[in-house]
A and B are shown apart, each in its own frame.
Chain A
């Protein structure tokens, strides 16, 4: 059965304290691995798509990486405005996306 697991469930960081979020996946025939940001009361906002092991993508303080079993979202020198829930999803190519339960990130000033 296809599955996506995110850890930790919640993370509190001081402003400037870098860290990483983990997304472990078992998705047969992975066609893409997606990262989204979700603010309270809003829909998920697309961040990155990764297609193959070894691929990396960056956007401001965020960098996403992909291996054959997991993906990491690295947050460098976070700011309070980076506080949100970060969602990971795998796409198996059967038109179905499998989402993890997310990591709630709180960055303290």
Chain B
């Protein structure tokens, strides 16, 4: 039982490049979410999903795209990277049935030059 996994752990991009951050969970959780964490800002919700085929925007969705084709996977796409997207990104999952506790992945540290 790996929990929530994220790849890659580190990434450096140039402005304008695109990339996908991967997130997978093996707990059969319905709810999955993406956050970014910046110094002094706390964790801010980017996008979330309550099941395969269902996604919605969080607090800071601009510049990011998501899709959910399976229960296990919830990739985050950066369409055209900007220096303002330099951050640490965390994926989380939880069951909608019990306790609402979110379990977090180890994070991806992204730098956009």
Interface residues of A (CB under 8 A from B): 31-32, 34, 36, 41-46, 49, 87, 89, 91, 95-97, 99-102
Contacts and interface: CB of A to CB of B under 8 A. Distances in A.
A40 to B, nearest CB: 11
Interface string B20-55: 000000000001010100001111110010100000
A31 to B, nearest CB: 7
Interface residues of B, number: 26
A36 B102 CA distance: 10
Nearest to B91: A43
Contacts of B103: 46
Contacts of B97: none
A49 B43 contact: no
Nearest to A102: B42
Summarize B's interface: helix, strand, loop or mixed.
Answer: strand
A89 B37 CA distance: 14
A89 B102 CA distance: 10
Given A42-B106, A43-B107, A95-B48, A49 B100 contact: yes
A43 B90 contact: yes
B41 A101 contact: yes
B104 interface: yes
B2 to A, nearest CB: 13
Given A32-B100, A34-B101, A44 B42 contact: no
Contact of A43 (B33, B41, B104): B104
Given A42-B107, A43-B90, A43-B107, A101 B102 contact: no
Residue from A43, A91, A96, A101 with most neighbouring chain B CB atoms (10 Å): A43
B105 A43 contact: yes
Given A41-B107, A43-B90, 7 more contacts: A34-B101, A42-B106, A43-B104, A43-B105, A96-B48, A96-B59, A101-B42
